[in-house]
């Protein structure tokens, strides 16, 4: 059964942990699992990721940033996500098109509609069946990130607290506008509690799709 689930959240929200837990759970149920991330997930995407996240690239324009994210996304959809879905896999992706609306749209203040159009082109109109949003206080999330590996600190995380707050508010607006697709979970809870909430929603979604 093919299923496309994306994970979104501010920095330090625990997406990597929750993707791993869900992948292990679903694989244990006999489902084929593909996990990937944005930007990256392909040879071309990883090269774009290095450009986007290098803290030295302070001169990058907002439009260039948005277009680079979309380029990496297009490659990921064409090379990894669509083929996996066609093969009947469950695809779990760390960030997707909603990230551009949250970060480049709400965070940087760029117009949302052109970004939506670019996203539709980059993805070929592919939408997730479910988007899990792990919500956490911005400063708490950044503190978690700082406590991790130093090499993971990147250009996006270097931005001002106000930027990250706008991103979080943007995510919450996006989720409120499409409750059928989004699951909002308080990411300040334990990993096990968060996983239980995600697993329950995914279980319901799988049963619904199996009944179609």
The predicted structure's pLDDT at residue 190 = 96
Which residue ranges make up each domain of the chain? 3-211
The predicted structure's pLDDT at residue 57 = 87
The predicted structure's pLDDT at residue 150 = 46
Total-model pTM: 0.93
Instruction: Flag whether pLDDT at 183 surpasses 80.
Output: yes
Instruction: Flag whether pLDDT at 54 surpasses 80.
Output: yes
Measured CA to CA, the distance from residue 76 to residue 141 in angstroms comes to 27
Q: What is the mean pLDDT of the chain?
A: 93
Quick: pLDDT tens for 109-153: 999 999 999 999 999 999 999 999 999 999 898 888 777 654 454
- If one counts every other C-beta atom within 10 angstroms of the C-beta of residue 181, the result is 15
Measured CA to CA, the distance from residue 176 to residue 9 in angstroms comes to 14
CA dihedral sign, ordered 64, 71, 36, 115: positive
- Percent of the chain clearing pLDDT 90 (strictly above): 82
Section 93-106 average pLDDT: 97
Q: Looking at domain 3-211, what is its CATH homologous superfamily?
A: P-loop containing nucleotide triphosphate hydrolases (3.40.50.300)
The predicted structure's pLDDT at residue 157 = 63
Instruction: Flag whether pLDDT at 176 surpasses 50.
Output: yes
């Amino acid at each position: 059964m093919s299923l496309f689930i994306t994970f979104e959240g501010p920095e330090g929200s625990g997406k990597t942990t929750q993707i791993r837990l869900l992948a292990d759970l679903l694989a244990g149920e006999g489902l084929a699992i593909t996990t990937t991330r944005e930007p990256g997930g392909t040879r071309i995407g990883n090269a774009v990721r290095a450009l986007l996240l290098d803290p030295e690239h302070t001169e990058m324009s907002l439009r260039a940033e948005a277009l680079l994210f979309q380029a990496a996304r297009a490659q990921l959809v064409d090379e990894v996500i669509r083929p996996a879905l066609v093969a009947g896999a469950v695809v779990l992706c760390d960030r997707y098109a909603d990230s551009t609306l949250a970060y480049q749209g709400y965070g940087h203040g760029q117009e949302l509609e052109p970004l939506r159009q670019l996203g539709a082109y980059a993805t070929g109109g592919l939408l997730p069946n479910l988007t899990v949003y792990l919500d956490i206080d911005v400063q708490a999330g950044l503190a978690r990130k700082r406590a991790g590996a130093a090499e993971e600190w990147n250009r996006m995380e270097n931005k001002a607290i106000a930027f990250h707050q706008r991103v979080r508010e943007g995510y919450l607006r996006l989720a409120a506008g499409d409750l059928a697709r989004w699951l909002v979970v308080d990411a300040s809870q334990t990993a096990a509690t968060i996983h239980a909430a995600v697993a329950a929603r995914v279980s319901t979604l799988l049963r619904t799709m199996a009944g179609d």
